[in-house]
Amino acid sequence: MSQPASREQWSSRLGFTLAAVGSAVGLGNMWRFSYLTAENGGAAFVLLYVGFTLLIGLPVLLAELALGRGSGRSPIQALMHFGGPRWMPLGGLFVAAGFLILAYYSVIAGWTARYTVEAIFVGVPADPAAHFGEISSGAQAIGWHLLFMATVVVIVAGGVRAGIERVSLVLMPLLFALVCALAIYAATLDGASEGYRFYLEVDFDKLRSLDVLRQAAGQAFFSLSLGMGAMLTYASYLSRQEHLPNESVIVAFADFGVAFVAGLAVFPLIFALGLQTQVGESTVGALFITLPGAFAELGGAGRIVAFVFFAALLVGALTSAISLLEVVVSSAIDSFGWSRKVAAVVLGLAIALLGIPPAMDTDILGWMDTVAGNLFLVFGGLMLSLFVGWRMPDAMAQVTPGAEGVRWFGLWLWLLRIPVPLALAVVLWQGLVQLVAGS
Ligand code: PHE
């Protein structure tokens, strides 16, 4: 099983872990997680999301790691390597998902960058809803989106070690610290307990709807960066000494941990200030309207809290965006023999252009997010579990190196063969029904 000789590798195990956690932790953990939790009734949704992360997310994550490290190739080539040319379209779909997601992701990251800078130089907007309306679409949104994309391109062009790994080693610990600081601060607010109650007290009635199930599954996939080859690509730069099951568990727990702690900051803030009714009203804008509203009411401290919050969000967005572009770039390097720099610039530019429609209209953005999260990633996860469960010649041989003593691999393969694809097929079907029904 020869790997392309010139392929880069992570310089350390920690480098991979932090880059993978960096991919997972992003807007999904703070922006998407909080609005979905708010919309779907709080703790019940969180519980489902944890269940999906463990029972479906973890096995698929390990499948991606096995495919990536086992082949030492980017998604299209990795699938062809183990499955033959018929699997090429699936790899193509992953690359398409990278285009689609990064295009609108970068627009949201652009808003975040702007809020971060404004917290320092301008302060918190007096009328957050009006402010969001002004900045969320149009020429300014495009400008910030392009600026963000340019940053991502520069880092990815720098390479696996000098670009991605170096940035992750600095930014991820910073993000953890910022999110923890926010949660501690939120605990000191009067009225925080209302927020905790909403967030942590489970109302089991809410668990019955298939729609909540679908949203929780989509969120688990989006948040873990699964179903489009991001984790696969990062694992392709990993050596055969590493313990893949351990890595998958660390990534999943870190991802859930950050989402959970971010919730411990967001919900007390919103409830302490009586803003809970506003959250469900605007989905994509929830975090960008409600939270600045809360910050404004905190007086002088509000500006600092706003800065810390948006800076953390921006860091998360950046490290995730890097992994999205890396899927596309590494595919062009492997398939067309492009140089990394050319691939990063050309493809980054193409994605930046694709980001213009969502930067013009938040409805388009919301639609792209739904299609990506509920259809593309779920379909990708379904196919990946079938591929590794049934088609890949010897999946065990790819996870075992570095993890010889692990006994539950049999369970892993069994989960990938039947329960995971079944559950994902139901979720996908639900997603399609919802899309056709127009909601
Ligand atoms: N996991 C990232 C987040 O939570 C988003 C992402 C999805 C990144 C798919 C890469 C691939 O923000």
Q: What is the DSSP secondary structure assignment for residue 203, as one 8-state letter?
A: -
Contacts of 80 (CB under 8 A, 6+ apart): 87, 88, 91
Lookup: tokens for 30: 């703070």
27 lines ligand 1 (CB under 6 A): yes
215 lines ligand 1 (CB under 6 A): no
Confidence (pLDDT) at 299: 79
- Tally Cβ neighbours within 10 Å of residue 246: 14
Q: What is the DSSP secondary structure assignment for residue 127, as one 8-state letter?
A: S
228 lines ligand 1 (CB under 6 A): yes
Distance 172 CA to ligand 1 centre (A): 15
Domain ranges (residues) in the chain: 13-438
Torsion sign, CA atoms 148, 154, 158, 162: negative
CA separation for the pair 393, 94 (Å, rounded): 21
323 lines ligand 1 (CB under 6 A): yes
238 lines ligand 1 (CB under 6 A): no
388 lines ligand 1 (CB under 6 A): no
Lookup: tokens for 370: 């739904």
Confidence (pLDDT) at 277: 63
Tens of pLDDT along the chain (439 residues)? Answer: 445 556 899 999 999 999 999 999 999 998 888 888 888 878 889 999 999 999 999 999 999 999 999 999 999 999 999 999 999 999 999 999 999 999 999 999 999 999 999 999 998 888 888 899 899 999 999 999 999 999 999 999 999 999 999 999 999 999 999 999 999 999 998 888 988 988 888 877 777 777 888 888 889 999 999 999 999 999 999 999 999 999 999 999 999 999 999 999 988 888 877 666 665 555 667 788 888 888 888 878 889 999 999 999 999 999 999 999 999 999 999 999 999 999 999 999 999 999 999 999 999 998 998 888 888 999 999 999 999 999 999 888 899 999 988 888 889 999 999 999 999 999 999 889 888 886 5
65 lines ligand 1 (CB under 6 A): no
Confidence (pLDDT) at 92: 96
Distance 301 CA to ligand 1 centre (A): 31
Task: Name the amino acid, one letter, at 165.
Answer: E
Instruction: Select the CATH number that applies to the domain covering 13-438 from these four: 3.30.70.1350, 3.40.50.11540, 1.20.1740.10, 1.10.3720.10.
Output: 1.20.1740.10
Distance 405 CA to ligand 1 centre (A): 31
Phi/psi at 12 (nearest 5 deg)? -150, 165
CA separation for the pair 113, 118 (Å, rounded): 9
What is the pTM (predicted TM-score) of this model? 0.94
Distance 303 CA to ligand 1 centre (A): 28
CA separation for the pair 59, 41 (Å, rounded): 27
